[in-house]
Amino acid sequence: MRTIPDENQIVLDDVSKFYGEVLGINRVSLAIPAGITSLVGPNGSGKTTLMNLMTGLLQPSQGQVWVLGLSPSRPEKLFPKLGYCTQFDSFPKGLTGRQLLCSQLRLHGWGRPEAAARAQKTLERVGLTEAADRRVAGYSKGMRQRIKLALAICHDPSVLVLDEPLNGLDPLARAEMLALFREMAARGIHLLISSHILHEVDLISDRVILINNGFVVAEGDIREVRDEMQEHPRQILVRCNKPGLLAARIFEENQGIEVRIHDDHRGLLVKTRCADQFYLMMNRAVLETGLDVEFIAPADDDVNSVYGYLIGADGGRP
Partner 1 sequence: MDPVIQLDHLSVNFGTRPILKRLTAELSGRAIGLLGPNGAGKTTLIHTLLGFHPSVEGTARICGMDIRRNAKQVRTLIGYMPENDSFIARMTAVRFLRLMAELSGLPPREAMERAHEALFYVGLGEARYRELGTYSQGMKQLAKLAQAIVHGPRILFLDEPTNGLDPPARQRLLRLIREIRDGGQVHLILSSHLLHDVEECCEEVLILKEGQIRVYCNLEEERRANRKFLELETAGDNNGSFLSALEQAGCQCAVNGSRRIKMVLPQSVEIRDIYHLAADRQIQIRRLHHKRDSLEDIFLKAMEENHGRL
For residue 233, state whether it binds partner 1 (rule: CB under 8 A). no
- Report how far Cα 10 is from the mean position of its chain's Cα atoms: 15
For residue 138, state whether it binds partner 1 (rule: CB under 8 A). no
Give the whole-angstrom CA distance, residue 253 versus residue 281: 8
Give me the DSSP letters along 297-311.
Answer: EESS-SHHHHHHHHT
Question: Which backbone phi and psi does 84 adopt, to 5 degrees?
Answer: -130, 125
Binding letters toward partner 1, positions 30-69, x by CB under 8 A: ----------xxxxx-------------------------
For residue 282, state whether it binds partner 1 (rule: CB under 8 A). yes
Binder of partner 1 out of 248, 269, 296, 310 (CB under 8 A) = 296
For residue 196, state whether it binds partner 1 (rule: CB under 8 A). yes
Binder of partner 1 out of 269, 298, 309, 310 (CB under 8 A) = 298
For residue 295, state whether it binds partner 1 (rule: CB under 8 A). yes
For residue 283, state whether it binds partner 1 (rule: CB under 8 A). yes
For residue 110, state whether it binds partner 1 (rule: CB under 8 A). no
Other residues' Cβ atoms within 10 Å of the Cβ of residue 159: 21
For residue 19, state whether it binds partner 1 (rule: CB under 8 A). no
For residue 169, state whether it binds partner 1 (rule: CB under 8 A). yes
Beta strands in the chain (DSSP E): 10-19, 22-32, 35-40, 62-67, 82-85, 159-163, 190-194, 207-212, 215-220, 234-240, 258-261, 267-272, 293-298
Binding piece for partner 1, criterion CB under 8 A, among 8-16, 102-110, 117-125, 284-292: 284-292
Q: Cβ 24 to partner 1, closest distance in Å? A: 17
* 3-state SS assignment for residue 23: strand
Binding letters toward partner 1, positions 149-168, x by CB under 8 A: ------------------xx
Contact 230, 74 (CB under 8 A): no
Pick from 290, 249, 289: which is nearest to 268 by CA? 249
Binder of partner 1 out of 23, 57, 116, 175 (CB under 8 A) = 175
User: Which residues contact residue 278 at a Cβ distance below 8 angstroms, ignoring those fewer than 6 apart?
Assistant: 234, 236, 250, 255, 256, 270, 272
Q: Cβ 253 to partner 1, closest distance in Å? A: 14
Give the whole-angstrom CA distance, residue 184 versus residue 194: 16
Give the whole-angstrom CA distance, residue 52 versus residue 173: 26
Q: By rule CB under 8 A, what count of residues binds partner 1? A: 50
Closer to partner 1 by Cβ: residue 56 or 256: 256
Would you tell me which residues interact with partner 1 (CB under 8 A)? 40-44, 140-143, 167-175, 196-199, 275-276, 279-280, 282-284, 286-287, 290, 292-298, 304, 307-308, 311-318
